[in-house]
Every structure is written in structure tokens, then in C-alpha cells.
A and B are shown apart, each in its own frame.
Chain A
Amino acid sequence: MKRVFVNEKWCLGCRLCEYNCAYANSGVKDMIKALKGKNIYPRVRIEGEDGITYAVSCRHCTDPICVKSCISAAISIKDGAVTIDHDKCVGCFTCVLVCPYGAIGRGETGAVQKCELCLENISGYPACVQGCPNRAIVYEER
């Protein structure tokens, strides 16, 4: 299965991935309307210190502890991708409590959200990868 991987040494810290992620998941067609003047809630986050930066998003673990821990059975694995069923989620944040990588966060409404590889949104292909100017994020089989 293809996953999103990070090449730390190529990351410029430009945060384009964050913007492209927020746009792809906004449901709004026009990028300006989706992002301009708004707080964005991307599912990939740039972090780092001392000039070193890298993108963090859901690892789509092979044996994900968030799936086993979810008290509302809202997280499941579909063809290898870890996905959240927002209809079932009650917002208890147990997934936030157990994700070893801090890759599950809160969205605009306060509900949990995470990278779902853009498989269900208008992008159809990880938007963070597509827009990365330096191939610091790639989508491939490893």
C-alpha cells in the first residue's frame, strides 16, 4: 500500500503542504475562498527546530493503536488506510491520547481529524505531496 513518507533533509519548512491539505479537505472549489483570511486546520503539520523541519501526518500504521482504542468504533482500516467515521465519533479524543506520533488533531469544529490520504476528497491524491516543491513528502510503496 502507498503511504506518505517524509524526506526531512529536503523540507524547506514552507508549509505549502499545510495549505494544500486544508484546501483539499475544505470542500470549497476556490482555493482563495477556502483559505484567505481564515485559520486553517490542516491534517499535516510542519514541525521542527533549529532550521530542521519536517511534515507530520498519520502514518497509517499496520497495527494502529487508535483503531483498537476508539471507544465508539469510529476508526477503522479500509484497504490499509486508517479512516474516521465522523457519524460514529463522539469526540472523546481517546485517539489523540494514544497516537504515538501526535498525528490526530482537532479540526475547525473541534472534531478529531487526521490524514486520510485525500482518497475521498476533491484531490484524490495526497495534496501535500502534489504541492511539495522539493519532493520532501512523497507518496509511494515502501
Chain B
Amino acid sequence: MKKYVIVGNGTAAVGAVEGIRSADKESEIVIVSEERHHVYCRPLISYYLEGKTDARRMKYRPDDFYDRNGCRVLYGVKAVKLDAENKSVLLDDGSQLKYDKLCAATGSSAFVPRFDGLDTVEEKHTFMTMDDMLGLEKAVRPDSRVLIVGAGLIGLKCAEGLAHRVAEITVCDLADRVLSSVLDGECAEVMQRHLEKNGIRFMLSDTAQSFEGKTALMKSGKTVGFDILVLAVGVRPNVSLVADAGGKCGKGITVDARSQTSLTDVYAAGDCAECMDISCGGVKVLAILPNAYMQGRCAGINMAGGEEEFDMAIPMNSVGFFGLHAMTAGSMFDESNGGEVYRERTGNGIKKLFSRDGRLTGFILIGDVDRAGIYTNMIRKRIPLSEVDYEDLKKIPNLFAFGKKYRDKILGGVV
């Protein structure tokens, strides 16, 4: 019998539990959960504000998940110190947990830069957790003016969630475009125009510099009045537990393909950990839910003595705003990076496919997103474009372009 400890209670932790249980049905699993919530779908907090889901439906696993999987969950405690040599972890209630295998699934935290006068702002919120969202919800009134700092996925999903509940939303970002981490300038403009049509006001290439009560002084010298401030500047992987114990870290916790850290019997997965982005061959933190689950599951299988590698990670996002969907995946190599771009305007949207060295490396689709997974699979499986009819695929994702042999395999067999 082994003893497993999982630090964190999000998607990667669930992946680890299910990974462990695929190989070891007996041993005890202890989950250290700082948040006092049953595991929930973190990306859904904006949908909750919007009224598209609620706390019951947001549960990532059913109520009996922990019981059924023989997990003991310690709610409301934080792991503060890892002693990898003696295989124990110290909790902030003073207790020690011994382990045979530990998985750090510590996630990421909202990054709040230093602003002068931030302490004078009464209603200031981050937007990462269920409690963040519930706190924000409590503060909103129909006549609230909201200022959101950060036009990334978190800031904009927050804006969408609040749009029908407040009087005014302004989003500012130092970047010159919305969703700058996933969209290029041309695609960002399409999305920005759509958001503006739905009442969101933008101040780009500009950001809040200091605050005085309900007024933000912007870098440009302008001032913005607000009742509620949301800080969605960025996120940082929670690496300190592993880093302080001497574990190797880059931007996130460094792990191998088996999700193992540089510390013996310590694994890491999810938003706190790095992984290999196969669309560009670089090590990155890919803080998205699918990767958290898959990397967590990989960690769990290996913790239980199995053999598993997580080697198909790519960045990808599917996100809609006010009915307009955007999908992105992989790496956007354009001509300046030795890549080739296929570009097409489609109705109210746009399509861009990026290829390099005979392979599809990435895409951006706004509007028409049907069957995008056929493209995503080409990136993930690194399918050589010489093996498919790429000219045909550019126009519309289809299976015909892959040839009869491929079709017979997937439509005529078990996959």
C-alpha cells in the first residue's frame, strides 16, 4: 500500500486521482484543498455570472467522486513546506502529511502588479476562483461602472459575464489589441469590433497607473471613473511549494514527459507546471483545462507505477463572446518566422492557417468554427501536409483530404 498526496483540488488533481485509480484501487489518496469547494469547473465562473450555469452544474465531478475513489479531502488548508528528502509536507494548520508519491497540482494565481493607491479602492477583485466570482457578484449593481484591467481571456470573459448586469464596462490593456496572447492584430480587431457592438468600451495601448477611490489615472493621462475594479492582468503558476524544496522550475514547475519533477517521487501537473508544446518544440506553461486533466492523469498513472507520457500538448482555446466564437490552436508562424499563412475572410469572421516545414502548426478561426478539430488533430499528430490534400483542407476541414486508407481506419474500425 502506498500513500498518495495531491496538493490542489482542481482539474489536474482529478486527472491525478483517475490516473492513480486506473492502476491502484487500494492505496489512500489525500487531497489538500485550499479552496473550501468540491472540485468545480474553474473556466465556468464567467458563465455563472452570465446565468448559463450554477454551482450545482459547475461541479467537475459528481458529489460522490471522492468517496468512490477513496480520497480524503482536507478543505481549507494550505501546503506550506515540502520536505522531499523525508517525504512529508507541512500544512498551515501545523500538521504533517507523509507521502510515498506527491503531486503538486497547485494551479496558478492572479498576478496583481503594484499600483499606487490600490488600497484606496473599495471594490477591487481578481477573477480566478469561485470565491473571487462570488465576491464580485455581491458587489455588482445594475448601475455599476466596471473597469477591467486586462483584455485577455479572463478579463474579457468577465466582461461578457457582467455585461447584462451592470451599466458600463471599460476594459483597458497595455497591449494594442484584445486577446493579445492568442490573436494577431487583424483577428483581434474582428473580435474587438464585435465586443464593442455589445457595449464593451476599450482603452488599448493604455492602462491604469494609479487609483484614487473610484478614479483610475491612466498611463495616457486620461482618467476613468468606476465603482468596481477587476484586475485581470495575468496569472502566475504557483511554483513555490516545489521551488522552495529545491525542485527545478522555469516559468512553471519543470517536469519530464512522465510529469515527474526534478525531486524524487514528486510530480506536478496543470497550470503550475510546464510541458512541451509540440507545435513549436518549446517548453511552456499551457494553462488550459484539457492539458491540466491530461497531464494530471499522466502523473497519476506514473505515481501508481504505470507508464504514461504526456507528449501531445499544444496551446488551444475555444471561446465565444456574445455569440461569436473564436478558436485558436498551436503556434502562429507567419512569414517572418519562416511560416506560411492561409488567410480567408468568412462572413462576419476570419480564418488563418499557419504552416511551417510541411506541417500545420496553428490556426485562428473566428465565426465559422465547424469541424475545427480536424485541424487541431493535424497539429497534435504532426501530420505531414504531403500526406493530405492541403489545398482542399484550407477551404474546409474534411476527411476526404486524408485519403481512403485513413477514412477506412477511422470510419471502419474502433479508434
Interface of A with B (CB < 8 Å)? 3, 5-8, 47-49, 52, 54-56, 59, 61-62, 65, 68-69, 71-73, 87-88, 90-102, 104-106, 110, 142
Contacts and interface: CB of A to CB of B under 8 A. Distances in A.
| 4 cross-chain pairs, A with B, having the tightest CB-CB distances, nearest first | A102-B371, A100-B377, A69-B290, A99-B373
B369 A97 contact: yes
Interface stretch (B248-256, B271-279, B319-327): B319-327
Given A52-B400, A56-B411, A102 B44 contact: no
Contacts of A47: 398-400
B113 interface: no
A72 B293 contact: no
A72 B54 CA distance: 11
B374 A101 contact: yes
Contacts of A98: 290, 316, 373, 376-377
Given A93-B327, A96-B369, A54 B376 contact: no
Interface residues of B, number: 48
A96 B373 contact: yes
A48 B407 CA distance: 11
Interface of B: 41, 43-44, 47, 52-53, 57-61, 289-290, 293-294, 297, 316-320, 323, 325, 327, 329, 369-374, 376-377, 381, 392, 397-400, 404, 407-408, 410-415
Given A7-B412, A47-B399, A68-B290, A96 B372 contact: yes
Contacts of B373: 95-102, 104
A61 B293 CA distance: 18
A47 to B, nearest CB: 6
A73 B41 contact: yes
A52 B404 CA distance: 10
17 contacts: A6-B407, A6-B411, A48-B400, A62-B415, A65-B290, A68-B297, A72-B53, A73-B41, A73-B60, A87-B57, A90-B52, A93-B318, A94-B289, A97-B327, A97-B376, A102-B399, A142-B413
A8 B408 contact: yes
B302 to A, nearest CB: 17
